[in-house]
Amino acid sequence: MGGIAYVNGRYLPIAAAAISVEDRGFQFADGVYEVIALHRGVLIDEEPHFARLSRSLAAVGMAWPMPKPALRAVIREVARRNRVDDDGTLYLQVTRGVSPRAHAFPAGLRPTLAMTARRLPAFTFERARQGVAVITLADQRWSRCDIKSVALLPNVLGKQRAAESGAFEAWLIAGDGTVTEGTASNAWIITKGGEIITRPLGHAILGGITREAVRCLAAENQLALVERPFTVAEALAAAEAFLTSTTSFVRPVVRIDDKPVGDGRPGPLTERLLRLYMQRMDQAATVTARARAGVKG
């Protein structure tokens, strides 16, 4: 079923929504994006997503496509027009704009803003806790993976390799043998001693919004968390492994390159973190719904 897309001021059926062939997003992947989850119709972690978009735009020298309050309104309108009144996702892309093809860009281009949103089946613990397999691949991306750029060719090829291998995700391996992250998620392990480990922020990974939420949840619940790089050998020797993203939440990783992690089933601490994460989403939805009711009443 077709949804509604927003493109540069217009809301159109997706099939009718179009971007110029000279858009720099199409020609050069000269753009950045965000994916935001909605739970019970409420945007989850809107502020950190805006903060990351701000960092991505600044890092590539692009302007905001419109003032932030207007952008917030458009986001809500796209969700509303796509009837994402329960669970779903919103995709937002900003490119440098349209100009005759030339690598260097003229000053003062009007950024292109495009958005879509789709409803998803209800986010349930049962669905989210299903363990997944990952494969490992050399990380062939650039040296600024902290920018949420739409230049995702290595990620796309990696995810496709994973799919062809019957896996959910590919974990990318840096030259020194450490895991950077997944093609569309952050990577984590839990040692037999119960220490939760993920790579520190830096240019090698995207600063995941879910990663940050899990980091805070671990701290609030007195769980030991260490930010340091880890290898595939460490992951295979770990008690548990998982990945995080806006769309996967906290997803147990039960096989790496066809070898089991721990006993090959979702681990207890991973499930605890998933539960905490889902409770946090629920709380955010409840608080916003109450605030809305308060405003109306």
181 binds ligand PDD (CB under 6 A): yes
Residues 6+ apart with CB under 8 A from 129: 252, 266, 271, 274
Binding track, positions 149-178, relative to ligand PDD; x by CB under 6 A: ------x-----------------------
209 binds ligand PDD (CB under 6 A): yes
Residues 85, 234: Cα–Cα separation, whole Å: 42
8-state DSSP, 23: B
Q: Which of 68, 148, 259, 296 is catalytic?
A: 148
Which of the ranges 15-23, 106-114, 207-215, 265-273 carries the binding residues for ligand PDD, by CB under 6 A?
A: 207-215
| C-alpha pair distances (Å), 234 with each of 101, 148, 219, 229, 269 | 46, 28, 23, 10, 17
3-class state of residue 45 by DSSP: coil
User: How much is the CA Rg of the chain, to the nearest whole Å?
Assistant: 20
3-class state of residue 87 by DSSP: coil
Among 124, 140, 160, 247, binds ligand PDD (CB under 6 A): 247
CB of 294 to ligand PDD, least distance (A): 29
Q: Which candidate, 132, 109, 272, places its Cα nearest to that of 194?
A: 272
> Maximum Cα–Cα distance for the chain, whole Å?
58
Q: Is 148 a catalytic residue?
A: yes
35 binds ligand PDD (CB under 6 A): yes
Which of the ranges 128-136, 196-204, 245-253, 259-267 carries the binding residues for ligand PDD, by CB under 6 A?
A: 245-253
CB of 31 to ligand PDD, least distance (A): 13
Compute how many residues bind ligand PDD; rule: CB under 6 A: 15
23 binds ligand PDD (CB under 6 A): no
244 binds ligand PDD (CB under 6 A): yes
116 binds ligand PDD (CB under 6 A): no
Among 112, 198, 246, 270, binds ligand PDD (CB under 6 A): 246
Residues 240, 190: Cα–Cα separation, whole Å: 5
Residues 297, 294: Cα–Cα separation, whole Å: 5
Contact set with ligand PDD (CB under 6 A): 35, 155, 181, 184-186, 206, 208-211, 244-247
Provide the annotated active-site residues.
Answer: 148
